[in-house]
Amino acid sequence: MWSWFRKAEPVHQQIRQYETGLPDKRARARDCSYLVLDFETTGLDPGKHHIVSAGWVCIEQQRILLSSAQYHLVRAPVSVGQSAVIHGLHNPQLQSGTELHELLELLLQQAQGKVLVSHHSGLELNFLRQACLYCYGRPARFRMLDTLKLELFRLQLQGRLVAQDKLTLAACLERHQLPAISEHQALSDAFGCAQLFLTQLQQRDSGTSLADLLSQSR
């Protein structure tokens, strides 16, 4: 029991450091640092499904830092079941994967001072919150931008009606004439999302604040 408390304390410290190190919402969005994240999971319900892989890459000074790219398989406590058809990962591959608490520790370290970015970010955000609650007793107050909603905001501002299937990451990349990706591979999706986000950022006024983007991501 006492060993559990000793191991948990540094993780809680990392959560506090993440929350206190977030950039000011009034800062120019182009001046902020970002961590672009993607999960592959066994389903859509964070209460009963599990993360099986994670990929992320950082953006600094409006540049993708290839050296920051990380990809991790995550050991799932149950069989991946039919979700393997989507993400292509099978139980034997995950047996030597990273433990969930180790993944969160790495992610929180990388995310310090950065805003998180994902495409259709509700999935990543909900799984992150649930994972933190399960491992550490409380979720971190994550700050996250959604490239899907940023794209929808841009198109609606132009008076365009867009079908839901035209807002997938692959469709958005094609619309902006960006390179195609291998879908449902966490690092590939994170890199594609990073390219999309940089394009979206450059399309906005240079004075656009982080608060503006957070508002457009709701």
Checking if the pLDDT of 2 tops 70, the result is no
Model confidence at 10, in pLDDT bands (50, 70, 90)?
low
Please give the Cα distance from 113 to 103 (Å, whole number): 18
CA atoms within 13 A on the CB side of 1: 0
Which candidate, 143, 120, 130, 157, places its Cα nearest to that of 33? Answer: 143
- The encoded tokens of residue 88 equal 């292509």
Name which CATH class applies to 2-216.
Answer: alpha beta
> What is the tens place of the pLDDT at every residue in 60-106?
999 999 999 999 999 988 899 999 989 999 999 999 999 999 999 99
For the chain, the average pLDDT equals 92
Interatomic CA distance for residues 58 and 112, integer angstroms? 11
Tell me the pLDDT tens digit for each residue of 160-198.
888 889 999 999 999 999 999 988 999 999 999 999 999
Is residue 32's pLDDT more than 70? yes
Q: What distance in Å separates the CA atoms of residue 18 and residue 16, rounded to the nearest whole number?
A: 5
Per domain, the residue ranges of the chain are: 2-216
